[in-house]
Chain A
Amino acid sequence: MATTSRSTSSHRGHTVTASGVEVVQHRNVPAAVLTYVGVVLICLWGLLPFYWMIVTSFRDVGFTFDTTPWPTHVTLENYTTAFSTDRGNHFGRALLNSVFIGAVTTVVGLVVGVFTAYALARLEFRGKFYVLGLILGASMFPGVALVTPLFQLFTNIGWINTYQALIIPNISFILPLTVYTLTAFFTEMPWELEESARMDGCTPGQAFVKVILPLAAPGIFTTAILAFTAAWNEFLLASQLGGDKVQPVTVAIASFAGAQPHQEPYTAVMAAGTIVTVPLIIMVLVFQRRIVSGLTAGGVKS
């Protein structure tokens, strides 16, 4: 089908009701069964190891290596250990740090990425491919080799143990993916809509924001989740460039120690892992509406 035939009315008319699922649900019972079998398998795939993590996180540290598949020797102690500040851990503060670092990284990264992706997808200019190559090139250098030069650079400008020392590298790490994803989505957009908006008197910027961005919402929210997760997961640089004040959760978890040297605090780490995973799941559940309904919800014509 021609992109030109994508019109406002066709969007409104079909997205709500029409989908491949209709076939499954009404005409083809085995396919519906297959879908649910698939759903169950996928849920098991994602949740079984997570389940094991939760079971371990509720287990008494003296029974760390118990392999009973259901909770035994249940205790909340691991969670209190994770949050306890007796031994100089500040897991709660680290959680806030991670949220802050992740949020700033995502917002700044997306704004910067949207600009660049817009230019790459929409504007004709010489050197476009050089720019794309350069941006991709940033995803080619082994991250482990960035630590030493960045440490030296940030020491020289007094950035060690500051938020920007963690946020700016994080933004750079997510930018290649952000730009590529967004460019791919923008390129697929029906730009005729933007043009018609401009004929209605919108500036190019307004047309972009009011017409194209809503259409690209699934891509943008997906990118946001990927970006946030990447920042949330970053460990290597944070462990060296950060410090007590700006420490994110990943580093805080690595600082967990057993009560004895050589003792591995598995149960506390699993408790911390569970705590860290939950906010992301909530975020996904909140955003998932936007991801799902991005196409229609934005309102193509405003």
Chain B
Amino acid sequence: MSTTSGVATGEFAQGKPPLDPGKRKSLHDGSGRKAAVLIAPTIVLLAIVILYPVISAVSQSFTKDAGLDPATGMFVQGGFAGVTNYKLWLLQDCGSGAFSCPPGTLGSQFWTATGVTFLFTVVAVSLETLLGFTFALVMHRKFKGRAILRASVLVPWAIPTAVTAKLWYFIFAYDGIANKILGTEILWTGDGWPPKAAIIIADTWKTAPFMALLILAGLQVIDESVYEAAKMDGATAWQRFKHITLPLVRPALMVAVLFRTLDTLRMYDLPKILTGGAGDTSTLSMLVVDQVRTGFNAASALSTLTFLIVFAVAFIFIKFLGANVTEQRAPKTKKAA
């Protein structure tokens, strides 16, 4: 199926002259049209499911939430809000100036939630990357029973998040198996550091396989002859890892890290089921859900802010960490320096 349509679109695009007469005739015109045809389905799908909700969220974030009419006791439409909904989150302004939201209101939790979301993301993604890379290196080796290893690495990833969260909730209960094995009496879903550790452990367990799979695939497209050549040149194992494996696996690694980061920044199910937000473990997405139940417009502002925060992280990633998948690599040098 992909064969025929790929060919068809290719010929179609090439056979036709550029429609826009003002356009410079160049090699790029033909591939531009072809590219447009190839990319269009993706864009259309994303527009329906993502772009429409994003636009509607942004527009609704400038409307006040419905308020109660004291005379009738019924809700009435809120009217234009200006940036009130944004001030609620950014300045924790519940109506009487900055930081007027008392503890226990959602408005007071924006920065805490942002902080804890970043904490989860930084710690969990780092651990997942380290573990995932290690898993992938071991999985890449040839030895008997490799299939079993691959399957067992993937088990955590295969269990639906909702079940994973329940499983860990069960494991981390006070009278649960974790405390029994460790011989501790830790309140894993209570206050302080344990709930944060519990969430990070459960998330790392669940998603390290994702990293491992992507990195493994990256390892497998590396031509073995590169290693052979490096070995002949007398490169040590560490040198080969540092100068061949790492650079060549980098595109796959960056994609894995980038997507894990974006996903963890939007984490919801796991902390929701595991701790319900106890011990300041409410993530931004949990805050969004709580706010949707209280007022949809302020929630739209919060979704938009979350979007912008995630956007900023992605921006930094691509600008400073080079998570750029289309970057054509210069021809690789042969020798490990």
Touch test A–B (CB under 8 Å): yes
User: What residues make up the interface of A, taking CB atoms closer than 8 Å to B?
Assistant: 1-4, 6, 10-11, 13-15, 18-21, 23-25, 35-36, 38-39, 42-43, 45-47, 49-50, 52-53, 56, 65, 67, 69, 111-116, 118-121, 123-126, 128-129, 131-132, 134-146, 148-150, 153, 168-169, 171-173, 175-177, 179-181, 183-185, 187-189, 203-206, 208-209, 215-216, 218-219, 221-222, 225-226, 229, 232-233, 235-236, 249-250, 253-254, 266, 269-270, 272-273, 276-277, 280-281, 284-285, 288, 291-292, 294-295
13 contacts across the A-B interface (CB closer than 8 A) = A4-B331, A14-B228, A19-B224, A42-B149, A49-B167, A49-B171, A125-B28, A125-B31, A144-B268, A145-B306, A187-B251, A219-B217, A285-B147
From A204, A219, A250, A281, give the contact of B151 (CB < 8 A): A281
CB atoms of A284 and B217 under 8 A apart: no
**Which listed segment binds A: B35-43, B78-86, B182-190?**
B35-43
CB atoms of B262 and A20 under 8 A apart: no
Q: Nearest chain-A residue to B259 (Cβ)?
A: A177
B191 within 8 A of A: no
Q: Which chain B residues border A45 with CB–CB below 8 Å?
A: 131, 205
Q: Which chain B residues border A145 with CB–CB below 8 Å?
A: 53, 57, 288, 292, 299-300, 303, 306
Given contacts A3-B331, A209-B6, A225-B213, contact A187 B326 (CB under 8 A): yes
B111 within 8 A of A: no
Q: Which chain A residues border B307 with CB–CB below 8 Å?
A: 140-142
Q: Which chain A residues border B122 with CB–CB below 8 Å?
A: none
CA distance A52 to B173 in the complex (A): 14
Given contacts A124-B31, A140-B314, contact A185 B42 (CB under 8 A): no
Tell me the smallest distance from the CB of A299 to a CB of chain B, in Å. Answer: 16
B246 within 8 A of A: no
**Which listed segment binds A: B66-74, B87-95, B156-164?**
B156-164
B106 within 8 A of A: no
Q: Which chain B residues border A4 with CB–CB below 8 Å?
A: 331
**Which listed segment binds A: B96-104, B137-145, B192-200, B274-282?**
B137-145
CB atoms of A294 and B220 under 8 A apart: yes
Given contacts A142-B288, A142-B307, contact A119 B34 (CB under 8 A): yes
CB atoms of A112 and B41 under 8 A apart: yes
- Across the A-B interface, give the 10 residue pairs with the lowest CB-CB distance, nearest first: A205-B7, A280-B158, A145-B303, A172-B49, A273-B163, A205-B6, A149-B53, A222-B217, A119-B38, A184-B251
Q: Which chain B residues border A131 with CB–CB below 8 Å?
A: 39, 43
B124 within 8 A of A: no
CA distance A14 to B255 in the complex (A): 28
Interface centre among A53, A142, A221 (most CB of B within 10 A): A142
CB atoms of A116 and B210 under 8 A apart: no
CA distance A67 to B143 in the complex (A): 35
CB atoms of A188 and B167 under 8 A apart: no
Q: Which chain B residues border A277 with CB–CB below 8 Å?
A: 155, 158-159
Q: Nearest chain-A residue to B4 (Cβ)?
A: A205
CB atoms of B39 and A119 under 8 A apart: yes
CA distance A22 to B224 in the complex (A): 12
Q: Which chain A residues border B168 with CB–CB below 8 Å?
A: 49
CB atoms of A116 and B38 under 8 A apart: yes
Given contacts A20-B141, A218-B221, contact A181 B214 (CB under 8 A): yes
Q: Which chain A residues border B27 with CB–CB below 8 Å?
A: 124
